[in-house]
Chains A and B, each alone.
Chain A
């Protein structure tokens, strides 16, 4: 049978599942071959068991090559992600990974500002680990109930700044306020961001005003995850000023902010 001969292993054991907030879960998957190849900013494509047609793209939160594992932190948004959250240690999950284009990794000594909004915060953790104390991590959440991963970021040695919309934790307000302050304190070599579009728009605008390279990780409804079906289209502009649709799964999820049509 040809399938057995060519199929990559897509079934991986779940090592742990932890509830972080009312809607957000942390899952560790045992996948040495995937962990070996994965880089910060890439994603995995999970197929929940049941009558689901599409996979769920989820960003990688931690890459542990020693343990041969990936950690994913994801939000339950519907039936599919609820099925994923119900997985128990020892269960297997159908995963296509690692996929997509990650963040540019500068030398560890570079000064980098990381910005994460809500469920866009997890993919920043591998970057915080890479840059350690040379990075500043600015996270934004709606309120205290949604705050995640602050201890994980603190452990990397990265300076952490927490914002909430309602001021119930950290400073009240948008991430762009501490971002502007951090830029004026010491101009960074790169800004990396992931979060809701309005936040990314604000971050990209600040980066542009200050002449700082900026990379953003985008989200779009996705199909195959490998660049063939062309559904996860993101409007971009090339050097000649021509707009075109690139694809979040293959050309991204990380894009140069200058490329994106905001």
Chain B
């Protein structure tokens, strides 16, 4: 069973006046089949955690470890992490002009699976996955994220999640900017993947709204670069009622 273990992770970014520490000792273990929600106010470091796990070059790891089934994730390049089973659904997916969605998906699936999927099966697989996410077939011929609406970008991210079947899925504010219908469609996609029991999910969100559709096993409150409190789904209800104020005003529980 795949397990992602984050231990005492410290991460800095280059700021104008030198490096600035964003993550200040994150400890978290995500096992296959589990869903962890990470909630926190803006600027608490949630997205930094997501991008650091995926290996974005902007972030410098200054301490701690991240392992996937004992393998050192931090030693891996970005593409190696993806092939090892770490998937990041991005908050702001990037436009790649000139590369069609269908070409991109097939190239990606080939890299992740280690061999090119058989064409006929692949076409069927993509078509069905797109139908489930209520995506028009013409979508496949468009350039990656170019001119996509906010909802289309997120559907496209979840389409990749469904096709690439990672061991660990990190969903970075997948709910932001979605209307209720799109949120439901996207959440259903995530749930289909979760229901296989094959994926450990790290759901990063600012709002509790998505947790009505995707039920977490654990909720972690992220504040000031670390996990300030962990609990069950009931913690989300508390945040819904009280907001993040208790965590942002100095001390918190840490």
Indicate whether A and B interact.
no
Where the two chains meet, the residues of B that have a C-beta atom closer than 8 Å to any C-beta of A are: none
